[in-house]
Amino acid sequence: METTHARTELIGKAAARPARRRRARQVGSPVLWFAAPAMAIYALIVLYPSLAGAYYAFTDWSGIGSAKWIGLENFKTLFRDEQSFGSLVNTLKLTAFIVVVQNAIGLALALAVHTRIKSRNVLRVLFFAPAVLSPVVIAFLWKYMLNPEPDAGLNAMLGFLGLGFLQQNWLGDPSVALWAIGLTVVWQFAGFSMVIFLAALQGIPRELEEAAAIDGAGRFQRLHRIVLPLIAPAMTINLTLSTIGGLKLFDQVFAITNGGPGYSTETLSTLIYKQAFVFGAYGYSTAVALVLTLLVAGLALLQVRYLQGREVTY
C-alpha cells in the first residue's frame, strides 16, 4: 500500500517537473510578452470595470454619494420581491418562446428556400431583411401593428382574412402582451436563424441524400436521419444565440410596452434599467445584472455542451 503510494508520488513528481518547466518556458515565452500589452488593456477596460461593477451588487449605492456594504440583501430582494421575481419568470418564458418558435420558423424557411424555386434568392433577402433593422424601429412598427382597434394594424388584417375571432387587445391585455412581444422578436430574427440553417443545408453533400433516397428513405426520414443530424452545428449556434438574445431582451420590451401593463412584460433587462435610472437603486440594479450575467453564461454553457454532444459528421 505504502509502496504503491510512494510510487504514485514519484510518478506525480516526475510528471509535474516537465509541466513546471513548460510553464516556466511559457512565462518567458516572447508570445506571452507580446500578448501582455493587449491583456493589460483588456484587464483595464473589461475585467476591472466588470469586477468593480460586481462589487456594487453587494451595496446600497444610489448612484450618487457613497455605497454601504449590505451583503446579500439585494439578492434576497430579487427573489422575494413580486415584481423582480415576476420579471425573472417573464424573461424565462419569453426566452423559451423565442428559442422554440424562432428556430422552428427559421428552419422551415431555410428548408423552403433551399429548393429550386425561382424566387428563392428574392425570398432569402426578404426573410432576412428585418434582421438588419434596428430593434427599436421594428418595435415602433409593431406598436402600430398591434393597435387594439379592430380596424387598425394586425387586427384589421385578421378581420379582412375572416379571422376576426383571433383579434386581440395585443398590448393592453396582460395575458397576451408578453407573447405579442415574443412575436415581434420572432418576426425580426426568424430570417437570421434561416440564414444560419441555410448555410448548413448548403454544406450537406448531395450524394448523401441521393443515396438515402435510392435506399428508399422518404422525405421525412431523410430530414430526420440525414439533414437534421448534419445541420446540428447550425442548430447549436442558433439555439445558443436565440437563448442569449431572449435572456438579454430589452429594446423591444422597452419601446413597445415599457414593462406594462402592470408588470406583465417586465424582463430582467428592463428591471435593471428601471432600478438604476428611474429609482436610482444602482446597487440593486447591479445585483440583478449580475444574476442575469450568470444566468446567460450558465444556460448558454449547458446548452452548448449538450448540443455539441449531439453533433455528428459523416
Partner 1 sequence: MFSWSTHAGARARRVGAAFLVAAIAALLAACGSGTQDKSDNGSSNGGGGGPKVTLTLKSITDAKVAWEPLIAAYKRVAPNVTIDASYAPTDQLQTALRAQLGTGNAPDLFVDWPGNGSAMSVQQLAPSGLIADISDQGWTKQVPDGVKPLLGANGKTYMWSPGATPIGIIYNKQVFKQVGIAEEPKTWSELLADAQKIKAAGKIPFAVGNQTPWVTQLLPYAIAPSTAFAVDPNLAQDMLDGEKSFTNSDWHTVYDRYIELYKRGLFNKSPNGTTYEQTQQLLGSGKAAMVVQVIAAMPPFLSAAKNKDDIGTFPFPAADSADALKIPAGVDAGIAASAKGKHLAEAKKFIEWLGRPENMASFSKATYSIPLVGADPAKTDPLLKPFAPFMASNKTVPFMDQQWPNAKVQPAHFAGVQDLVAGKTDVGALLKKLDEAYQQK
Q: Checking phi first, is residue 22 left (phi over 0); if not, alpha (psi -120 to 50) or beta? A: alpha
Which span (121-129, 146-154, 212-220, 238-246) binds partner 1, by CB under 8 A?
146-154
Taking CB under 8 A as the criterion, the residue among 172, 212, 233, 250 binding partner 1 is 172
Which listed residue (179, 187, 250, 263) binds partner 1 by CB under 8 A? Answer: 263
Cα(26)–Cα(169) distance, rounded to whole angstroms? Answer: 64
State which of residues 280, 293, 303, 311 lies at the interface with partner 1 (CB under 8 A): 280
Q: Which of residues 11-50 bind partner 1 (CB under 8 A)?
A: 30
- Taking the complex as a whole, how short is the minimal distance between the CB of residue 198 and partner 1, in angstroms? 37
Cell of residue 314, nine digits: 459523416
Q: How far is the CB of 143 from partner 1 (least distance, A)?
A: 7
Under the binding rule (CB under 8 A), the answer on residue 114 touching partner 1 is no
Contact track, partner 1, 209-248, x by CB under 8 A: ----------------------------------------
CB of 174 to partner 1, least distance (A): 5
Nearer to partner 1 among residue 114 and residue 274 (C-beta): 274
Is residue 181 a contact point for partner 1 (CB under 8 A)?
no
Does 159 help bind partner 1 (rule: CB under 8 A)? no
Binder of partner 1 out of 173, 218, 221, 308 (CB under 8 A): 173
Size of the site for partner 1 (CB under 8 A): 29
Regarding 1 and contact with partner 1 (CB under 8 A), the answer is no
Is 312 near partner 1 (CB under 8 A)?
no
* Closer Cβ to partner 1, 169 or 293, answer by number: 169
Does residue number 53 form part of the binding site for partner 1 (CB under 8 A)?
Answer: no
Q: Which of 47, 55, 104, 149 binds partner 1 (CB under 8 A)?
A: 149
Q: Which of 3, 27, 28, 65 binds partner 1 (CB under 8 A)?
A: 65
Cα–chain center distance at 179 = 17
Identity of the residue, 167 or 293, whose beta carbon is nearer to partner 1 in the bound complex: 167
The CB-of-92 to partner 1 minimum distance in angstroms stands at 20
- DSSP letters spanning the chain: -HHHHHHHHHHHHHHHHHHHHHHHHHHH-HHHHHHHHHHHHHIIIIIHHHHHHHHHTTB---SSS---B-TTHHHHHHHHSHHHHHHHHHHHHHHHHHHHHHHHHHHHHHHHHSS--TTHHHHHHHHHGGGGS-HHHHHHHHHHHT-SSTTSHHHHHHHHTT-GGG---TTTSHHHHHHHHHHHHHHHHHHHHHHHHHHHHHTS-HHHHHHHHHTT--HHHHIIIIIHHHTHHHHHHHHHHHHHHHHH--HHHHHHTTT-STTTT--HHHHHHIIIIIS--HHHHHHHHHHHHHHHHHHHHHHHHHHHHT----
| Cα dihedral 188/194/196/201 (nearest 10) | 180
Q: What is the contact surface with partner 1 in residues (CB under 8 A)? A: 30, 63-65, 83, 143, 146-149, 169-174, 257-264, 274, 277-280
